Structure 1
Amino acid sequence: MSRDVSTLGRADSWEGVRAVVAGFGASGAAAVDNLLHLGASVHAVAEAASPSVRERAELLEVLGARIDIREGATAGLPAEPADIDVLVVSPGFRPDAPIVAAAREAGIPVWGEVELAWRLRDPAHPAPWLCVTGTNGKTTTVQMLDSILRAAGLRSVAAGNVGLPLTEAVMDPEPYDVLAVELSSFQLHYTETMAAESAAVLNLAEDHLDWYAGPSAMEDYARDKGRIYQGVQRACVYNVADPATERLVREADVVEGTRAIGFTLGTPGVGMLGVVEDILVDRAFIEERATSAAELCTLDELASSAPHFVANALAAAALARAHGISQAAVREGLRSFRPDGHRIALVAERDGVAWVDDSKATNPHAAASSLAAYEPVVWVAGGLAKGASFDDLVRTAATRLRAAVLIGRDRHVIAEALSRHAPDVPVIEVDLPETGAVGELDLMRRVVAAAAEAAQPGDTVLLAPGCASMDQFTDYAARGDAFAAAVREHVGE
């Protein structure tokens, strides 16, 4: 007989609960570990794992988990439905994945690791969650927010889709004061009861349309993003330049008294954060907001003045201010923040040409934001397009482009968009040789050579692929590393 897990939390006994965990990445392994700690019986299944993950699996098996990592392990439920009380699914599993569909059909609760973590918060010290989602900028914004919270003297951590898995964060023996939480649409799809103190949707654009299939894919994607606002208690932060984010706020069921707070790169209205004469200002969280604005920091104090970076800073500041963080701590947190590698990172500058690595721009919206920060640009792009279109990007950026150097399986999608909307922009396709393998660095050497040939003094060669990387590289970081290494070779550093 199945056990009802709907009301179980950290203070309850999980003895006798039979949990299946699908996927054994960072969040899956954390779910297994903490379910075992609570006393549940755990059966984890996954299709593949790296050697380091397999080592973790062996340790968890010693602690009592049953772990099955092999091809076909997630093709269905690993036991009879009557013998499973809950399925905890990693975010990579689509709603129509066989194991998810089988659980739904059998009436088995399906949680994501985020939902599990929310249920396992310490009732004596339930650290509030400040949550961020959006097509682009999530990681940078959450890391900025964490920097601000730490500058205010709070014990904070970046968690969720970046940093620490949320189950590990909430189960830490030393409670956090607050969590800066990045959430993807995949993670949000599998949430039910999570309710952030404040939340932000940074932007909405085509992405992951290989995960959200069918004619309503974009609507389903936006709906999952909007789940971040459900139950919010203090502030729903939205992007004034992206009306779809404000619409999600209007549609959300929130706690009475919750405020809608906009952020804009222009002059802010009352109840917004924005920019006035190169100063980031707050007209939302001060008493005199009807007639004045409070200075947070200047553009010169940020690591980059690129528009999307400034927008991320404003969103992070809005969430922090909603939590009661002072102007001084916001300034210090933003001043001290430096983005991770492969995000608008200047690699080298030689003979008047700047070489910039934004390999993290893995969809057209992110690439468009990056392109908007530079002019003229030799654009390095391509990879796995994930079903996205590049027409809007090219139409907007056409006048900025000196040339385009295209790589990857779906480079033809970008080439066709360039042909339609920027026919005068030279296009150089760097293909793999017909025979033999080519390494990541060798491929980027060809890219850099082609870009150098096209670039003129005053240009920026920008790696902003607009695509995922796994067709030719291990991940976006490996792509950026190879680009940076090839650039340094080229300039003689």
Structure 2
Amino acid sequence: MAGHQVTSPFHGQHITVAGLGVSGISAARALAGLGARITVVDGGDSQALRERAAALTAEGMTVRLGDATTLPEGTNLVVTSPGWKPDSPLFAAAAEAGVDVVGDVEIAWRLRGEGAAPWLAVTGTNGKTTTVQMLASILEAAGLRTAAVGNIGTPIVDVVLSQEPYDVLAVELSSYQLHWAPSVRAHSAAVLNLAPDHLDWHGSMSAYAADKGRIYEGNKVACVYNTADPATEHLVREADVEEGCRAIGFTLGAPGPSELGVVDGILVDRAFVADRYTSAQELAEVTDIAPTAGPAAPHNIANALAAAALARAFGVEPAAVRDGLRAFRPDAHRIAHVADVGGVAYVDDSKATNTHAAQASLAAYEKVVWIAGGLAKGAAFDELVAASAKRLRGVVLLGADRALIREALARHAPDVPVVDLDRTDTGAMAAAVREAARLAEPGDTVLMAPACASMDMFTNYGERGDAFAGAVRDLAAERGAGA
């Protein structure tokens, strides 16, 4: 960390860090190391939090558990963890005292030294993590020292303060992080898509979109948008960028000038070529996208195009785009093929925690037995069901808010068989897999893309995906043993 300490703008300041999670602890330790006086506050008081608090106290910081509403006396700056709502009492107290509230991404930006690595930034309702990982894979294939950071992987403050310099960073930014990061100015940035999500946090769709749009502010080379989602292009038009910065679209169809797209199964660049009106550059084949994961779903082709656009904006050669996409491996629980049992494919997309993600997942398959349900987070399901009805062989519902999906199915897919599992015990997922197997026919896909959060029945979406995969493996063992 020493590389930035001498020029730290935080030396001697009293900084209150809100939240004792991963990003909060990272920010607290980094700022303490830069000479700031740190108080960490968290409304919880669990054994795990006490253990974390003890570790920070031993390092000379003050930690206050069980009270996250009052502002510690003498605070010069509040650093918040991403999930804290803007209307939190602590932030109201800060505003009344004239104290700024920022996030760890803003802290990282302010700590960048002379000649620091530029940021290639990505946001969107869905696909951020995959796109950033694809981008990092492409940058690595180009021989650049990079890291996937932000809302993913290593805390961004730690990377910015690293002793070994980076050439460029692939930065995933959530709407929460963008809300608390007013100074960030990326080299180039992409908004992948916009759909209603986290409206309970932002208060309205317009406020959510405005926070997403902050990613384009001050872009230097390219603002990358989705031609199939006009709201993303609108955000580009609204942005105040550096002179010469270009709007670059990506499309699943044939690209026009200043766009990347697909022609006959080939990813094509008509944006970063000498004459974009008369020529195009082949970048990769669709089959190069995560080749070990099976056929690329349409939304992953879109993610690859967005990643390629940002890499090309940074000057990466076409061969590195191809090699990076070939080397990329998707995370667990993102359209992960678990097994084939009796001619039926079983696919885990537990990461599809909202309707937009589930719709993209369903669109990748011709005939689906869909396992869905969980915590709806205020979502409506009519649009999702109407768009996917023709693909549905059957549906198995579980979880707290499954009735909302059942009602949408009754309205828009009344002929589709529905199994409603009224149980939340540990065996519920195994029962769902068995019911799905009963409904499926050879050639079908049993797809767990719940369109809901998991916390009604599971610790997180990963645990839910593991339960699905375990149930599928048990089914395969049984069917194999009986064959």
TM-score grouping bracket, smaller chain normalisation: over 0.9
Identity score, percent: 60
| Pairing 1:106-117 to 2, within 5 Å after superposition | 106-117=97-108
Supply the distance in 2 between the matched residues of 1:409 and 1:120 (Cα, whole angstroms): 44
| Pairing 1:309-458 to 2, within 5 Å after superposition | 309-432=300-423, 438-439=425-426, 442-458=427-443
1:359 alignment partner, SS class: coil
1:471 aligned partner, one-letter code: D
Matched with 2:117 is 127
1:375 alignment partner, SS class: coil
The correspondence for 1:241, drawn from 205, 218, 228, is: 228
Tell me, yes or no, if the aligned pair for 1:10 and 1:122 is still in contact at 8 Å.
no
Supply the distance in 1 between the matched residues of 2:283 and 2:137 (Cα, whole angstroms): 14
The correspondence for 1:137, drawn from 127, 131, 149, is: 127
Say whether 1:103 aligns with 2:94: yes
Matched with 1:463 is 448
Q: Once the 2 structures are TM-superposed, how far is the Cα of residue 95 of structure 1 from its aligned partner? A: 0.7
2:447 aligned partner, one-letter code: L
Tell me, yes or no, if the aligned pair for 2:20 and 2:52 is still in contact at 8 Å.
no
Q: Once the 2 structures are TM-superposed, how far is the Cα of residue 362 of structure 1 from its aligned partner? A: 0.7
1:206 alignment partner, SS class: coil
| Pairing 1:41-440 to 2, within 5 Å after superposition | 41-48=37-44, 55-70=51-66, 73-77=67-71, 79-80=72-73, 83-123=74-114, 125-213=115-203, 217-303=204-290, 304-432=295-423, 438-439=425-426
Supply the distance in 1 between the matched residues of 2:92 and 2:432 (Cα, whole angstroms): 43
Q: Once the 2 structures are TM-superposed, how far is the Cα of residue 14 of structure 1 from its aligned partner? A: 3.2
Bigger shift: 199-208 or 419-428?
419-428
2:450 aligned partner, one-letter code: P
- Measured against aligned partners, the alpha-carbon deviations of 1:201-237 in whole angstroms (never above 9, x if no partner) come to 0000011122123xxx111111110010011111000
Supply the distance in 1 between the matched residues of 2:119 and 2:49 (Cα, whole angstroms): 28
Supply the distance in 1 between the matched residues of 2:162 and 2:6 (Cα, whole angstroms): 12
The correspondence for 1:16, drawn from 3, 12, 17, is: 12
Supply the distance in 2 between the matched residues of 1:152 and 1:314 (Cα, whole angstroms): 17
2:333 alignment partner, SS class: coil
Tell me, yes or no, if the aligned pair for 2:289 and 2:326 is still in contact at 8 Å.
yes
Supply the distance in 1 between the matched residues of 2:430 and 2:29 (Cα, whole angstroms): 43
Supply the distance in 2 between the matched residues of 1:116 and 1:413 (Cα, whole angstroms): 41
State TM-score, norm by structure 2: 0.95
Supply the distance in 2 between the matched residues of 1:314 and 1:13 (Cα, whole angstroms): 38
Tell me, yes or no, if the aligned pair for 1:365 and 1:393 is still in contact at 8 Å.
yes
Q: Once the 2 structures are TM-superposed, how far is the Cα of residue 58 of structure 1 from its aligned partner? A: 2.9
Q: Once the 2 structures are TM-superposed, how far is the Cα of residue 16 of structure 1 from its aligned partner? A: 2.5
Tell me, yes or no, if the aligned pair for 2:14 and 2:36 is still in contact at 8 Å.
yes
Q: Once the 2 structures are TM-superposed, how far is the Cα of residue 54 of structure 1 from its aligned partner? A: 5.2
Tell me, yes or no, if the aligned pair for 2:373 and 2:399 is still in contact at 8 Å.
yes
2:253 alignment partner, SS class: coil
Supply the distance in 1 between the matched residues of 2:436 and 2:366 (Cα, whole angstroms): 15
Tell me, yes or no, if the aligned pair for 2:5 and 2:34 is still in contact at 8 Å.
no
Q: Once the 2 structures are TM-superposed, how far is the Cα of residue 238 of structure 1 from its aligned partner? A: 0.1
Tell me, yes or no, if the aligned pair for 1:135 and 1:204 is still in contact at 8 Å.
yes
The correspondence for 2:28, drawn from 23, 32, 47, is: 32
Q: Once the 2 structures are TM-superposed, how far is the Cα of residue 9 of structure 1 from its aligned partner? A: 9.2
- Measured against aligned partners, the alpha-carbon deviations of 1:126-174 in whole angstroms (never above 9, x if no partner) come to 1100000000000000000000111111110000000111111101111
Matched with 2:457 is 472
Supply the distance in 1 between the matched residues of 2:256 and 2:88 (Cα, whole angstroms): 45
1:211 alignment partner, SS class: helix
1:156 alignment partner, SS class: coil
- Measured against aligned partners, the alpha-carbon deviations of 1:434-474 in whole angstroms (never above 9, x if no partner) come to xxxx22xx121111111111111111000001111111101
Q: Once the 2 structures are TM-superposed, how far is the Cα of residue 196 of structure 1 from its aligned partner? A: 0.4
Supply the distance in 2 between the matched residues of 1:106 and 1:487 (Cα, whole angstroms): 56
Tell me, yes or no, if the aligned pair for 1:10 and 1:120 is still in contact at 8 Å.
no
Supply the distance in 2 between the matched residues of 1:148 and 1:15 (Cα, whole angstroms): 37
State TM-score, norm by structure 1: 0.93
1:45 alignment partner, SS class: strand
The answer for unaligned runs of 5 or more in structure 2 is none
2:103 aligned partner, one-letter code: G
Tell me, yes or no, if the aligned pair for 1:13 and 1:39 is still in contact at 8 Å.
no
Tell me, yes or no, if the aligned pair for 2:367 and 2:445 is still in contact at 8 Å.
yes
Supply the distance in 2 between the matched residues of 1:484 and 1:184 (Cα, whole angstroms): 28
2:415 alignment partner, SS class: coil
Supply the distance in 1 between the matched residues of 2:362 and 2:118 (Cα, whole angstroms): 36
In the superposition, relative to structure 1, how do residues 305 and 329 fare at CA in structure 2: closer, same or farther (>3 Å)? same
Tell me, yes or no, if the aligned pair for 1:9 and 1:121 is still in contact at 8 Å.
no
- Measured against aligned partners, the alpha-carbon deviations of 1:334-375 in whole angstroms (never above 9, x if no partner) come to 011010100011001021111000001110000000000002
Tell me, yes or no, if the aligned pair for 2:8 and 2:111 is still in contact at 8 Å.
no
Supply the distance in 2 between the matched residues of 1:424 and 1:13 (Cα, whole angstroms): 64
